[in-house]
């Protein structure tokens, strides 16, 4: 019956087991649990820190975006202004050129007109002379010199209109 | 690459030393083996017990006690080593201990969600696991001093034990192959589970639990509860003792020439670790069934 | 028959009974756990084939279930010890 005998050994084993349990609890389990707790806290702290950093980065990003948008806007406005100015300059130059051209054209036209007028007057006087002389040759004797001239002038003026 | 080859070389050297030791042990055993198998196998059921016959509180199993102290000393030495260098970033020893504890703690947490009971359950189950695993390992696959006891009944009808210490014949005697150890632990787990049950449910609900599902089942429930420590302790006892006897018999039959290393490896490492795991897991399960 | 030979005969019968009883106990007692562990192994293999990613969990549970199915076998082993060495 040696295999199934229960004796004082059982009590000794219980005592030594409780001693082992106490020692291991002090040396292994308590550090283990505190380590788990510490790790958890550290991870939580790091997570919070990361969250804060992320938030800061987000804020900075937004600021940068805002700045960028502003700069963009300003550049846009500057460009549009410059474009408008350029347009204006071109427009004004065109205007000026057109006015100049118009002026030159007018001057030329006036010149032509004047010359025409001159030529016309010359022709008129010559033609009047001619016509008078011709008419005098034809109408010799029917009218006197003065009446003939007046009549002819009247005639010419009427035609002139 | 060079590191790997270095490690492989180291492993090879260790393996060669291991083989040399085992072959030497086999040769020594083959030389001094008793010729009659009954001399070896007839004594497997005898234990070295000191003390007067029939007085249980004066009798003691020295082999069990000494081996159990050795196991406890090894465990405390290891725990001190780990404790000294405990830090947030684990070293190799600490990582090993922590992964082991995490493994057991996960099992405890999955069966007992309440933190109030999970901690003490973990402490008990982990200590049981470590103690049984180490005791199974050192007495499972390390050839060492074993005790051979032959019983003789003298004229006045008293049993006289002749104790013989044998070197390298068998492995060290395991504390877990003694029913004293196993029954103590199983009864301890049983009492703790009942205590936790009373504490968690209240004494009325705990008593009512025996009348479930119908009052007629009361004796069945009581027997079922009482069978737990018996099966719990006898499982470990039967496995380790049976394995030991089997190894001894088979080793004798092959004259210790080539089987013992493999048998010791199987019964010591594989079976021993599984039984340690099963013992602690069942302790957790028994406590969990009472707590929830 | 004299007293001495009767005693020897009785001892022989006792030894034979022990041997037969122990052999039968262990042999018959090993059937149940064998079948049970086979069932456990079958279930575990099917589960692993269905869900290979759960192999670790299933193996752990299988070992536990094996150990529990083994209980009756261990009982018969203990009874065998009792018959052989304690009777």
State how far the Cα of C74 lies from the Cα of B182, in Å rounded to an integer. Answer: 14
Give Cα A17 to chain centroid, integer Å: 87
Q: Give the other-Cβ count within 10 Å of B42's Cβ.
A: 14
- Closest in C68, C74, C84 to B234, CB measured: C74
State the pLDDT at residue C42: 94
Does the CB of C85 have a partner CB in chain B at under 8 Å?
Answer: yes
d(CA B101, CA B78): 14
Q: What is the 3-state secondary structure (H, E, C) of chain B?
A: CHHHHHHHHHHHHHHHHHHHHHHHHHHHHHHHCCCCHHHHHCCCCCCCCECCCCCHHHCECHHHHHHHHHHHHHHHHHHHHHHHCCCCCCCHHHHHHHHHHHHHHHHHHHHCCCHHHHHHHHHHHHHHHHHHHHHHHHCCCCEEEEEEEEEEECCCCCEEEEEEEEEEEEECCCHHHCHHHHHHHHHHHHHHHHHHHHHHHCHHHHHHHHHCCCHHHHHHHHHHHHHHHHHHHHHHHHHHHHHHHHHHHHHHHCCCCCCHHHHHHHHHHHHHHHHHHHHHHHHHHHHHHHHC
Contacts of A27 in chain B (CB under 8 A): 76, 79-80, 82-83
Is C71's CB within 8 Å of B231's CB?
Answer: yes
Predicted confidence (pLDDT) per residue in C22-75, tens digit: 999 999 999 999 999 999 999 999 999 999 999 888 888 888 888 888 888 888
Angle between helices C31-50 and C55-69 (to 10 degrees): 170
Q: B136-188 pLDDT, tens per residue? A: 888 777 777 778 787 777 777 777 788 878 776 677 888 888 888 999 999 99
Q: Does B49 touch chain A (CB under 8 A)?
A: yes
Q: Identify the pLDDT of residue C75.
A: 87
**B251 interface with A at CB cutoff 8 Å:** no
pLDDT of B262 above 80: no
Report domain extents, chain C.
3-86
Size (chain A), residues: 161
- Per-residue pLDDT for A48 more than 80? yes
CA B267, CA B276: separation in Å to the nearest integer?
12
Average pLDDT score over chain B: 83
* Range of weakest confidence among B82-86, B247-251, C63-67: B247-251
Q: Which CATH architecture has domain C3-86?
A: Up-down Bundle (1.20)
Query: Which has more confidence, B105 or B32?
Result: B105
A151 falls in which pLDDT band (50, 70, 90)?
Answer: confident
Q: What is the ipTM of this complex?
A: 0.84
Q: Which of A8, A13, A38 sits opposite B88 (nearest CB)?
A: A38
Q: How far is CA B116 from the centre of its chain?
A: 28
Per-residue model confidence (pLDDT) at position B39: 73
Over residues A66-123, the pLDDT tens digits come to: 999 999 999 999 999 999 999 999 999 999 999 999 999 898 888 888 888 888 888 8
Residue with tokens 């210790």: B256
Which residues 2-61 of A have a C-beta within 8 angstroms of C?
A: 2-4
Interface residue of B278, B279, B285 to substitute, partner C, most C CBs within 10 Å: B278
For A122-148, how does the pLDDT look when each residue is reduced to its tens digit (9 = 90+)?
Answer: 887 887 777 777 777 776 666 667 777
C85 part of contact set with chain A, CB < 8 Å: yes
Nearest CA in chain B to A35: B88
pTM of the full predicted structure?
A: 0.74
What does the alpha-carbon distance between residue B213 and residue C18 come to, in Å, rounded to a whole number? 43
């Amino acid at each position: 019956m040696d295999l199934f005998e229960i004796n004082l050994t059982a009590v000794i084993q219980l005592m030594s087991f409780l001693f082992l349990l106490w020692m291991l609890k002090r040396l292994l389990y308590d550090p283990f649990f505190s380590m788990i707790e510490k790790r958890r806290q550290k991870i939580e702290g790091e997570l919070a820190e990361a969250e804060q950093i992320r938030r800061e980065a987000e804020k900075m990003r937004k600021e940068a975006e805002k700045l960028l948008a502003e700069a963009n806007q300003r550049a846009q406005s500057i460009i549009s202004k410059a474009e408008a100015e350029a347009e204006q300059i071109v427009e004004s130059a065109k205007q000026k050129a057109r006015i100049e051209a118009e002026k030159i054209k007018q001057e030329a036209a006036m010149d032509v007109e004047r010359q025409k007028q001159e030529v016309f007057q010359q022709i008129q006087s010559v033609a009047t002379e001619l016509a008078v002389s011709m008419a005098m040759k034809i109408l010799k004797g029917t009218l006197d010199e003065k009446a003939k001239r007046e009549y002819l002038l009247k005639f010419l003026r009427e035609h002139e209109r | 690459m060079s590191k790997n080859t270095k490690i492989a070389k180291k492993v090879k050297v260790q393996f060669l030393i291991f083989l040399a030791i085992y072959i030497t042990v086999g040769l020594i055993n083959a030389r001094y083996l008793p010729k009659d198998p009954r001399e070896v196998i007839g004594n497997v059921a005898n234990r070295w017990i000191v003390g007067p016959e029939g007085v249980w509180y004066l009798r003691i199993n020295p082999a069990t006690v000494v081996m159990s102290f050795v196991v406890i000393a090894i465990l405390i030495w290891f725990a001190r080593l780990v404790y000294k260098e405990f830090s947030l970033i684990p070293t190799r020893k600490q990582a090993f201990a922590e992964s082991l504890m995490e493994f057991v703690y996960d099992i405890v947490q999955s069966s007992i969600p309440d933190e109030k009971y999970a901690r003490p359950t973990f402490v008990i189950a982990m200590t049981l696991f470590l103690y049984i695993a180490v005791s199974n390992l050192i007495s499972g696959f390390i050839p060492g001093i074993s005790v051979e006891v032959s019983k003789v009944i003298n004229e006045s009808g008293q049993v006289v034990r002749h104790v013989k210490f044998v070197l390298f014949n068998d492995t060290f005697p395991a504390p877990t192959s003694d029913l004293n150890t196993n029954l103590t632990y199983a009864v301890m787990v049983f009492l703790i589970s009942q205590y936790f049950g009373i504490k968690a449910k209240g004494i009325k609900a705990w008593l009512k639990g025996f009348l479930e599902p119908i009052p007629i089942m009361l004796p069945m429930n009581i027997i079922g509860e009482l069978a737990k420590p018996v099966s719990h302790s006898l499982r470990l006892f039967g496995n380790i003792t049976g394995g030991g006897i089997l190894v001894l018999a088979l080793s004798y039959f092959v004259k210790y020439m080539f089987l013992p290393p493999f048998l010791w490896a199987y019964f010591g490492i594989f079976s021993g670790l599984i039984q340690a795991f099963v013992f602690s897991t069942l302790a957790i399960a028994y406590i969990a069934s009472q707590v929830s | 028959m004299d007293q001495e030979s009767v005693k020897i005969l009785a001892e022989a019968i006792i030894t034979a009974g022990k041997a037969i009883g122990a052999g039968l106990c262990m042999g018959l007692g090993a059937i149940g756990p064998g079948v049970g562990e086979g069932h456990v192994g079958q279930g575990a293999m099917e589960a692993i084939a269905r869900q290979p990613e759960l192999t670790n969990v299933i193996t752990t549970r299988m070992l536990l279930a094996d150990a529990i199915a083994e209980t009756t076998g261990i009982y018969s082993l203990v009874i065998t010890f009792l018959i052989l060495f304690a009777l």
